[in-house]
Structure 1
Amino acid sequence: MLINTTKETVDEIKKVIEANPEEGTCVRIFLAGMGCSGPAFGLALDEKGESDLYCESEGQGFLMEPEFHEQFGDFNLEFTDGGYLVTPVNAPEGYGGCEGCASGCN
């Protein structure tokens, strides 16, 4: 398991952890839902479970369930425009765009 991120992104994560210490010290990446442009991924503070995959990037611990990693692989994580952009390393070109939405994305 590999999470590509930056020190700046991890600094933002650490601010969230400091504000919510009871939630956990690791960041879990998970499937938040499916939309017309594909899967949407979420982040949550958590502690490592017995079966979790774990890695550190820029000094921050990250978690994933093994089945989730088998399906989606490694991830890129970036803090941008006040939020986190979570994308699979091997995402197809145009991933996350709105070209698949019949109603468009407003």
Structure 2
Amino acid sequence: MVNITDEAASELKSLLESEEKEDHALRIFIAGMGCSGIQYGLALDNEIKEEDVTEESNGLKVVMSSDIEEGLSDATIDYVETEEGKGFVIDNPNPASCGSCSSCQ
């Protein structure tokens, strides 16, 4: 199960309200691959597909394709503010490496 921290939930709820998208879910998707493993992205989405898995965390609906659910089983979505900026991050304690380059093997 993907967990959403209190800080991230508060920011997401404010975002959903300000964009008048309270009926949307937070979709997690694969944004790319690299030597550090799978890179995930986040988007607001109101179209649930047949192959999707829907979870709820901290009062928010989270949607993802069933083929990435297992890889995100212990992931946490947080909201951070640093000197470089602010935004949502996915902390996945069990990332998969790609195995496509010599430094991964």
Which bracket does the TM-score occupy, shorter chain normalised? 0.7 to 0.9
Distance across 2 between alignment mates of 1:23 and 1:44: 13
Give the match for residue 44 of structure 1. Answer: 43
What secondary structure is seen at the aligned counterpart in 1 of 2:40? strand
Distance across 2 between alignment mates of 1:91 and 1:37: 8
| Structure 1: runs of 5 or more not aligned | 93-99, 101-106
1:85 deviates by: 1.2
Matched, 1:84 2:88: yes
Q: Which has the higher strand share?
A: 2
| Structure 2: runs of 5 or more not aligned | 97-102
Give the match for residue 95 of structure 1. Answer: none
TM-score, normalised to structure 1, is: 0.72
What secondary structure is seen at the aligned counterpart in 2 of 1:55? strand
Give runs of aligned pairs for residues 51-66 of structure 1, distance below 5 A: 51-66=51-66
Distance across 1 between alignment mates of 2:36 and 2:79: 21
Q: Which has the higher helix share?
A: 1
What secondary structure is seen at the aligned counterpart in 2 of 1:67? coil
Runs of 4 or more off by more than 4 Å in structure 1?
none
Distance across 2 between alignment mates of 1:9 and 1:63: 16
1:76 deviates by: 1.1
Q: What is the aligned residue count? A: 91
Contact persistence 1:12–1:79 (CA under 8 A):
yes
Give runs of aligned pairs for residues 61-76 of structure 1, distance below 5 A: 61-70=61-70, 72-74=71-73, 75-76=75-76
Aligned-pair Cα RMSD in Å: 2.2
